[in-house]
Amino acid sequence: MNTTQRTDQQTSAERRRRELLEAADRVVLRDGPQASMNAIAAEAGITKPILYRHFGDKGGLYAALAKRHTDALLDSLRAALDAPADRRERVESTLDTYLAAIEARPQVYRFLMHPAEGSAAQGDQGFDVGKHSAPLLRRMGEELAQVIEERLDLGPDTRRLARVWGHGIVGMMHAAGDWWLGERPCSRQELVRSLADLLWGRLAAAGDRMGGPGF
């Protein structure tokens, strides 16, 4: 019974935790990354200390929240990356998956990418920006690096190149997506093809517009 008891309590606590996370999710969806602990507690129908008992501090709550979304997005990306198709197709499909995700839920995206506001704004407590900034980007970069290293033969420097490229490509995707989300200058597919073209070396291959060495 000791076991069952503990199990019951655990599941109860975990269910509560999930409920709290879902409430927090709703608030973040509505208010963006600046959602206050009070607001989240109110949405969950309880008060602050309970949140703190479950998550330690605001950083903990936000980390837990971010982990859910990050895991979900990473799963989609892995699926796109592992699909049976040639390299270019996979790259385009992965880019498209990411862009579709941020297009579908921009509030969540903003929360994941700019989590700083929620924390370090007032109390200097919580959240070293340099350490926690955009963990999603880091994780995506590392995952992509691993995939590149596993599958590509880049000579003796494969390991280093793969990591640099992983983070670089993810950053390219992120920045282009962020800009695109704000301005909507073209369709998603055009953006995907343009980025893939960039990765496929069209920059180096392009001709100069006029005299001089060109860019």
Partner DNA sequence: ACTCGGTGTTACCTTAAGTAACACCGTACG
Partner DNA sequence: CGTACGGTGTTACTTAAGGTAACACCGAGT
Judged by CB under 8 A, the residue of 21, 25, 33, 59 near its own copies is 33
CB 103 within 8 A of CB 181: yes
CB 59 within 8 A of CB 141: no
User: Whole-number minimum distance, CB 87 to its own copies, in Å?
Assistant: 5
Amino acid of residue 13: A
- What is d(CA 182, CA 100) in angstroms, rounded to the nearest whole number? 14
- What is d(CA 57, CA 99) in angstroms, rounded to the nearest whole number? 31
- Using CB under 8 A as the binding rule, the residues of this chain from 116 to 175 that contact its own copies are 116-117, 119-122, 124, 126-127, 129-131, 133, 137-138, 141, 147-148, 150-154, 157, 160-161, 163-165, 167-175
Site string for its own copies, 177-196 (x = CB under 8 A): -xxxxx--xx---xx--xx-
Judged by phi (left if over 0) then psi (alpha if -120 to 50, else beta), residue 126 lies in: left
Amino acid of residue 84: P
- What is d(CA 71, CA 118) in angstroms, rounded to the nearest whole number? 21
DSSP symbol at 116: T
User: Whole-number minimum distance, CB 36 to DNA, in Å?
Assistant: 4
* 125 is an interface residue for DNA by CB under 7 A: yes
User: Whole-number minimum distance, CB 53 to DNA, in Å?
Assistant: 7
Beta strands in 14-148 (DSSP E): none
User: Whole-number minimum distance, CB 87 to DNA, in Å?
Assistant: 44
CB 192 within 8 A of CB 89: no
Q: Which residue has the tokens 């990765």?
A: 199
Among DNA, its own copies, none, what does residue 59 contact (CB within 5–8 Å per kind)?
Answer: DNA
Which residues, including other chains, have CB under 8 Å from residue 204's CB and lie 6 or more apart?
none
Nearer to DNA, 36 or 158 (CB): 36
Among its own copies, DNA, none, what does residue 38 contact (CB within 5–8 Å per kind)?
Answer: DNA
Contact stretch for DNA (CB under 7 A) within 56-64, 95-103, 104-112, 205-213:
56-64
Q: Which residues bind DNA (CB under 7 A)?
A: 1, 5, 9, 12-13, 16, 36-38, 45-50, 52-53, 57-59, 118, 121-126
